[in-house]
């Protein structure tokens, strides 16, 4: 393993892409005033689905609807990525994305053409919404418990409450696991967590991602993915399903398909990047959700959000 001195002399960067929950009304407006790539990328994306995605970013109601949230966030990430490509002295060593952000990472790596990626995540959002139509659903963040303890609480909820469905959905950092399922199941887990004296916070979401309720969406998504031509990545992408780089197009697609029903292994992804001697992370998307999570990992790596001109300038100064 490289020494601390060697790592300082030879910095190794990875770019990470956020997913749903990172959206914000009016996002990227400051960057758009300075970089024409923002408007150009949004115009390009909007044409692929006949939806004005920049207008969506100014409309709180539409931005909260998952079928619009997903293409808007992917477009925001790729717009910033296009700016980064002109600024970075050399490409990052690795890419990774949290949930929806995995599509942004694969697009940035040249696996999925941008013109295909936008309609793909637009359809992904629609399929996820359709999968739980008429079902009361929920997600909640569990704080302060070990991963396996949360998994056990989910299993117990399904056993004890008739009709309950709940799974561990996101392993975000040590002591932070998100659970997802129907209202019955998530409520039971929240009660169980609170009875231990720990916190469980209900999340404001429109669909319960990464749980077994998404199986119909996963099946339909697999059919769509089969029709899209992928390429092998020009930068390695660590995917959510197994927290590893997949080395064949079939495996990349399979990991994307299973991702809808299986948990996001983000803590494990951060461990993988640390083991590869990554010395800095660049959060390529709106906000700083992933940069905040990076501080809480077992092996923290400095992370820099770049969704505003001041943040981008700070990153470039640090890297120089």
Looking at residue 5, what is its pLDDT?
38
State whether residue 177 is helix, strand or coil.
strand
Please tell me the predicted confidence (pLDDT) of residue 205.
86
Domain boundary among 183, 206, 229: 206
**Mean confidence (pLDDT) of the chain:** 95
CATH classification of the domain holding 233: 3.40.366.10
Domain with residue 201: its CATH number is 3.30.70.250
Domain end point (choices 178, 206, 234): 206
Task: Please say if 98 is a catalytic residue.
Answer: no
Q: State the catalytic residue, choosing from 99, 104, 173, 280.
A: 99
- The pLDDT assigned to 204 comes to 87
Please give the residue range of the domain that contains residue 144: 137-206
Q: Are residues 185 and 282 in the same domain?
A: no
| Confidence tier at 11 by pLDDT (50, 70, 90) | confident
Residue with tokens 């399979």: 254
- Judge if 111 and 54 occupy the same domain: yes
Same domain, 151 and 178: yes
Residue 3 pLDDT exceeds 90 = no
pLDDT of residue 1 exceeding 50: no
Task: Answer whether residue 124 shows pLDDT above 80.
Answer: yes
Confidence of residue 10 (pLDDT cuts 50, 70, 90): low
Q: Is the pLDDT of residue 4 over 70?
A: no
Tell me which residue of 307, 223, 317 sits closest to 31, measured CA to CA: 307
pLDDT reading at 2 higher than 50: no
Residues 146 and 283 in one domain: no
- Domain match, 52 and 13 both: yes
The 10 Å Cβ neighbour count of residue 148 is 10
- Out of 206, 231, 254, a domain closes at 206
Same domain, 113 and 234: yes
Instruction: Identify the residue whose tokens are 């120089």.
Output: 320
Cross-strand pairs, 282: 15, 304
> Is 3 designated active site?
no
Q: Tell me which of 210, 218, 280, 291 is the catalytic residue.
A: 210
Number of Cβ within a 10 Å radius of residue 175 = 15
Q: In what order do the strands lie in the sheet with 94-97?
A: 244-245, 237-239, 94-97, 13-17, 280-283, 303-305
Domain identity same for 122 and 245:
yes
Residue 162, SS3?
Answer: coil
The count of domains in the chain is 2
Average pLDDT (195-212) is: 94
User: pTM higher than 0.85, yes or no?
Assistant: yes
User: 314: part of which helix (H) or strand (E)?
Assistant: helix 309-319
Mean pLDDT over 177-206 rounds to 96
Residues 183 and 250 in one domain: no
Mean pLDDT throughout 242-258? 97
Do 193 and 226 belong to one domain? no
Considering the domain architecture, whether residues 116 and 23 belong to the same structural domain is answered as yes
Please determine, for residue 65, whether its predicted confidence score (pLDDT) is greater than 50: yes
200 and 159 in a common domain: yes
């Amino acid at each position: 393993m490289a020494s601390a001195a060697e790592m300082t002399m030879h910095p190794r960067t990875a770019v990470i892409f956020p997913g749903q929950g990172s959206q914000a009304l009016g996002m990227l407006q400051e960057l758009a005033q300075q970089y024409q790539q923002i408007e150009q990328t949004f115009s390009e994306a909007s044409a692929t689905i006949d939806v004005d995605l920049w207008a969506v970013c100014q409309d709180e109601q539409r931005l909260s609807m998952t079928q619009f949230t997903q293409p808007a966030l992917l477009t925001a990430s790729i717009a910033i990525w296009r700016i980064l490509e002109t600024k970075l002295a050399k490409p990052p060593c690795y890419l990774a994305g949290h949930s929806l952000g995995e599509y942004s990472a694969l697009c940035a790596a040249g696996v999925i053409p941008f013109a295909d990626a936008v309609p793909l995540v637009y359809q992904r959002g629609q399929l996820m919404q359709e999968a739980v139509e008429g079902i009361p659903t929920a997600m909640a963040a569990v704080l302060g418990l070990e991963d396996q303890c949360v998994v056990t609480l989910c299993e117990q909820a399904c056993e004890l409450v008739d009709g309950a469905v709940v799974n561990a959905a996101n392993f975000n950092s040590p002591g932070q696991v998100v659970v997802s399922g129907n209202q019955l199941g998530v409520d039971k887990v929240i009660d169980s967590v609170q009875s231990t004296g720990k916190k469980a916070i209900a999340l404001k979401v429109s669909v319960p991602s990464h749980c077994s309720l998404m199986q119909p969406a996963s099946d339909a998504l697999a059919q769509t993915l089969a029709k899209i031509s992928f390429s092998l990545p020009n930068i390695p992408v660590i995917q959510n399903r197994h927290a590893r780089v997949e080395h064949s197009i079939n495996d990349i697609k399979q990991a994307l398909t299973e991702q809808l029903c299986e948990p996001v292994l983000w803590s494990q992804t951060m461990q993988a990047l640390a083991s590869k001697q990554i010395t800095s992370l660049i959060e390529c998307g709106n906000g700083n959700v992933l940069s905040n999570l990076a501080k809480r990992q077992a092996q923290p790596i400095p992370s820099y959000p770049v969704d505003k001109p001041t943040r981008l300038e700070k990153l470039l100064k640090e890297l120089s």
